[in-house]
Chain A
Amino acid sequence: MTMSKWAQRINPAVQNIPPSGIRKFFDLVAEMKGVISLGVGEPDFVTPWHIREACIYSLEKGYTMYTSNWGLLELREAVAAELQNTYNVQYNPRNEILITVGVSEALDLAMRALLQPGDEVLIPEPSYVSYAPCTTLAGGKPVFLPTSLDNGFQISADQVRAAITPNTRVLLLCYPNNPTGAVMEREELARIAEVAVEHDLVVISDEIYDRLTYVGQHTCMSSLPGMQERTILLNGFSKAYAMTGWRVGYAAGNPDFIGAMTKIHQYSMLCTPITGQMAALEALKNGRAGMRRMVEHYNRRRHLVVQAFKDMGVPCFEPGGAFYAFPQVSVTGLSSEQFAEELLKQEQVALVPGNAFGKSGEGFVRVSYAASIDDLSEAFRRMARFVRRCGVRPRVISAPSQISAARQEGICQTL
């Protein structure tokens, strides 16, 4: 294929980033009517009113200027207090916390501050779509740690150790996980921490779903022995406080790391918008009760989702966190993309094919249960119909031979 003159002028590092698997799907959905979407990676709640109202008030009072590059000191202090109270980790708000434009920016800053060409970053897979591209754009090389249904999509210390080469610099963690909903047990995390210390790895820990933990207690990576100095902790307001559009997150870490990230941030971003910071401050000050209520809602829906797949006969492990379920739709005999596409065309239910999150997501789809109970129930009714047409019998996991027989009989339409 020949490239246009202007395309040739694009940096190959950018040129070579594959198109997002999600984008492709988005275009398909956009043309359809009556779609119930379980493909949304953000809360279905609108930001609680007291937070919105506090933001309006800040505008009335004329808070419309730049803030310090680091972010409002008051907000950094509130973040430090929150981390201290929740995980008993201490960060100095003056030089160990940086307020960023979402975890997205913080992740990019961390990669750019740490990586030199050829440095390897260990990334559990399936994983959030930004990790690999951010690594590549910063000159690093993503090395994936595949996880599977058998081990509940958790990585192990042995797996980390086995993947380490002389070039390995960073271990990226994301638990609770997007897209699988997996959480890590404290013991295994502690063993992974030991490996990180032993091999002098820096850990970037994206804990944006920490509050959305339903099984057991979330372990903050920097609370483990020896980890605070070598961890860049990323978190934000998007998920816990239903504040995705406000674009506020933060990074916490040792003064050298955070200082370096701030250097990039000050020249590329200058500062996080003050309006979002004001809202985030209100969320930390008065948002706890509202946040807990939202988490309770997600948890109830989580049970509904798990039960629905059980009833359909589609294997789905019980997610311990976030608001995603990751059922194994390969029992229908379809690939992730075929399943998502056919389900959308035949039953108007949108989800994200698992391979959008990496190779080991193949055979799965991501189902977001950040949706109303009514929408969830209707979506499951439609999905059950579809799955049955594909020859999967309720509550019985079909053997592969049965599936291919069903397909030959043409039960699964249009394929």
Chain B
Amino acid sequence: MNNVEKEVLELLENNARLTAEEIAVMLNADAAEIKRIIRELEDRKAILGYITLVNWEKVGEEKVSALIEVRITPQRDVGFDAVAERIYRFPEVRSMRLMSGTYDLAVFLEGRSMREISNFVSTKLATIEGVVSTTTHFVLKAYKQDGVIMEDGEEDRRLVISP
């Protein structure tokens, strides 16, 4: 990866709405070249998507999320991957990671209610072959997500004009 690619990615990671033209100016590069780089990064799946970070509470939407610690039995040749895939393909799973430590998979679920989530865990997740145990932790409050503080009271407090 070259330097320009890295800078493009860093800029987009923080603000997916920057246009190729804006990025080009900021990096003192050619707009057509930046467009080409972005397209190429998308083709290579280095850029996987552009999503919006939403605070659903602000629009009165009830959402429940939970972290499920899952212990699974690894299988010959494929290790954890085959069982993992059966889990992460469910759209209810928002993100999932293989962990070191006392459990294997950290599964983040999102649903409309606690019942919906517990239903999913007991009927779908726990019953998958290879899943040894699950421990469900419901999220009480989100403070920060993907580097963004949910209720950031640090607005611009500078004087409007200063020397």
Contacts and interface: CB of A to CB of B under 8 A. Distances in A.
Contacts of B159: 26, 40
B58 interface: no
A379 B5 CA distance: 28
Contact of B25 (A41, A130, A307): A307
A350 B160 contact: yes
A20 B163 CA distance: 10
A22 interface: yes
Nearest to B18: A373
Contact of A41 (B22, B27, B162): B162
B7 to A, nearest CB: 8
Tell which of B15, B22, B158, B161 has the most Cβ of chain A within 10 Å: B161
Q: B15, B156, B160: which has the most chain A beta carbons within 10 Å?
A: B160
Interface residues of B, number: 16
B143 to A, nearest CB: 14
Nearest to A293: B10
A359 interface: no
B26 interface: yes
B25 A303 contact: yes
A350 B161 CA distance: 8
A299 to B, nearest CB: 8
A41 B26 contact: no
A209 to B, nearest CB: 13
A26 B27 contact: no
Interface string A344-359: 0000001010001000
Interface residues of A, number: 28
Interface string B6-29: 000001000100100010011110
B154 interface: yes
The B interface is mostly helix, strand or loop, or mixed, namely loop
Interface in B28-62: 28
Interface string B67-95: 00000000000000000000000000000
Interface stretch (A29-37, A67-75, A116-124): A29-37
Given A300-B26, A301-B26, A44 B158 contact: yes
Contacts, number: 55
Nearest to B26: A300
B26 A39 contact: no
B26 A44 contact: no
Contacts of A20: 163
B66 to A, nearest CB: 29
A192 to B, nearest CB: 25
Interface in A340-378: 350, 352, 356, 373, 377
A40 B160 contact: yes
Given A44-B156, A46-B154, A373-B15, A303 B162 contact: no
Nearest to A372: B156
Contacts of A130: 163
A320 to B, nearest CB: 13
A37 B156 CA distance: 11
A37 B160 contact: yes
B158 A35 contact: no
A396 to B, nearest CB: 20
A129 interface: yes
Interface string A299-329: 0110110010000000000000000000000
A399 to B, nearest CB: 28
A178 B162 CA distance: 12
A25 B18 CA distance: 33
A365 B156 CA distance: 23
Contacts of A377: 22
Contact of B160 (A30, A128, A356): A30
Contacts of A44: 156, 158
B161 A352 contact: yes
A307 B61 CA distance: 42
B25 A40 contact: no
B27 to A, nearest CB: 7
23 contacts: A20-B163, A22-B161, A25-B161, A29-B160, A30-B160, A37-B158, A39-B161, A41-B162, A44-B158, A128-B163, A129-B163, A130-B163, A178-B163, A300-B26, A303-B25, A303-B26, A303-B27, A303-B28, A304-B26, A307-B25, A356-B163, A373-B15, A373-B22
Interface of B: 11, 15, 18, 22, 25-28, 154, 156, 158-163
Given A22-B161, A41-B162, 18 more contacts: A20-B163, A22-B163, A26-B160, A29-B161, A37-B160, A37-B161, A39-B160, A40-B158, A40-B159, A40-B160, A46-B154, A129-B163, A130-B163, A300-B11, A301-B26, A307-B25, A373-B15, A377-B22
7 cross-chain pairs, A with B, having the tightest CB-CB distances, nearest first: A300-B26, A39-B161, A26-B161, A37-B160, A41-B162, A307-B25, A129-B163
